[in-house]
Structure 1
Amino acid sequence: MLSDQSPFGGVIGAFLLAFPALFSIVNPLGAALIFSQVMADRSPAERAMLSGRVGLYSLLVLLVSLWVGAYVLNFFGITLGALRVAGGLVVAIRAWSLLMAPEEHEARKEQQAAPASDAEDVAFFPLTMPFTTGPGTISVAITLGSARPAGGAGLWSFFVGASAAALLIALTVWVAYLYADRLIALLGQNGARVVTRLAAFLLLCIGVQILSNGVQDLLAPVFRGAS
């Protein structure tokens, strides 16, 4: 759980928690390489249009998951502590797979994006979901939403910071897809994998931290009853 004495500090803390986690799971640089391959037969104008739409749709998916996802699960009786433990495990497991085998992640992304090569309306499906912001991204965003403070000014500071991170991720997706050919020339496949592994390690640490907070939430009543 995030806590800070000043609202501004809470915004910064939430941003620093959310941005590396979302960047790691969305992986806009690696996805841009696949986007360039799948969209190779499209005109520059079409690719620019699709880049903007995917960025916008990705922002909407991220914001809904961050703002609403945890509350929906709470409505069905899932406690915040249980959500944090389960979400932290999911985030850590996904980060581990990204860290150890980015090639498998790339192959899965290529399969998800394949239908976009010859279809007409592809901005939302499959380019946004599941290619850019699929189930993995949604689960990470919901888990981040579960890290919110209980209420008060800290809650709004958290959502402002997390929403700013989602906005920056969406802008990164737009720019990366728009200039995918230049990214290929600059990074190449190996460079993208290096960035993916570095980001995956940060995601692993964040998953462990959220899991730790969840364990503390679940065990707090036990320790209070024993004292």
Structure 2
Amino acid sequence: MNDLAFLTYTFISIFVIVNPISGVVTFISLTSHMTFEDKNILAKKAVFLACIIALFFAVTGNLMLDLFGINVDSLRIAGGILLFRVALDMMFAKVSGESITENEISESQDRSDIWIFPISLPLLTGPGTITTVIVLMGSTASVGQKFLVILSILLTFFVCMVIFLSSRRIYTHIGYTGMLVFTRIMGLFLAALAADFVTTGIWNVYRALSAGA
């Protein structure tokens, strides 16, 4: 896989699981009482923190796996199963329990730190996003590819920033129905990514066991 193809693959993988368009509905509901300026300040803080969290796990993920004695392929299989569950929720246009529950959205209405919870974590950087960036970094074959994963994270959250800053305009133009359609399409891509994670992980584990036999 050349660098451009790898960058495209990693960017799409991260963007699909972060799914900022789907997050717009929750973001608007949580910031509906705010002024335009306050909403934009909150969006910038939330996306920046989410990006830092994703970068942190991308850089330290392999160290954590080594610390707990977990193979990246084991995480790939477990992560694939988790992502498939999220993908099903997206395809049926449900709020995914992996990221945020309806009760958490309701309880967050009057909080002053909603940019931390639930927007940054877990809406943008939930377990699915964290698993994805760790697996992608663990799959790299060179320092150059690791840089491309980092670049994909930065690009994803740059797009998130643009989308959140334009959230009310986006909602006005495409509406709730348009967001549901987009979410279902992203869910289909995420299901394909989840299947790839699981099959690749099982195949790698099988080859490792065969080689050690």
Residue 223 to residue 132, structure 1, CA distance change in 2 (3 Å): closer
Pairing 1:96–2:88 present: yes
Aligned to 1:21: 13
Pairing 1:189–2:176 present: yes
Displacement, 1:47? 0.7
Give the root-mean-square deviation of aligned CA atoms.
2.4
Count matched residues.
212
Displacement, 1:48? 1.0
Alignment of 1:18-167 (within 5 A): 18-99=10-91, 101-105=92-96, 108=100, 110-149=102-141, 154=142, 156-167=143-154
Displacement, 1:179? 1.2
Residue 189 to residue 216, structure 1, CA distance change in 2 (3 Å): same
Aligned-partner SS, 2:96: helix
Displacement, 1:109? 5.2
- Normalised to the residue count of structure 2, the TM-score between the two structures is 0.87
**Which stretch shows the higher mean deviation, 109-118 or 72-81?**
109-118
- Runs of at least 5 residues in structure 2 that lack an aligned partner in the other structure: none
Asked if the contact 2:55–2:150 (Cα under 8 Å) also holds between the matched residues in 1, the reply is: yes
**Aligned to 1:199, which of 178, 183, 186?**
186
- Normalised to the residue count of structure 1, the TM-score between the two structures is 0.82
Summarize deviations over 1:63-99 as a string: whole Å, max 9, x none: 1122222331232111233222222222233223322
Aligned-partner SS, 2:94: helix
Residue 36 to residue 165, structure 1, CA distance change in 2 (3 Å): same
Aligned-partner SS, 1:104: coil
Residue 147 to residue 98, structure 1, CA distance change in 2 (3 Å): farther
- Runs of at least 5 residues in structure 1 that lack an aligned partner in the other structure: none
Identity %: 23
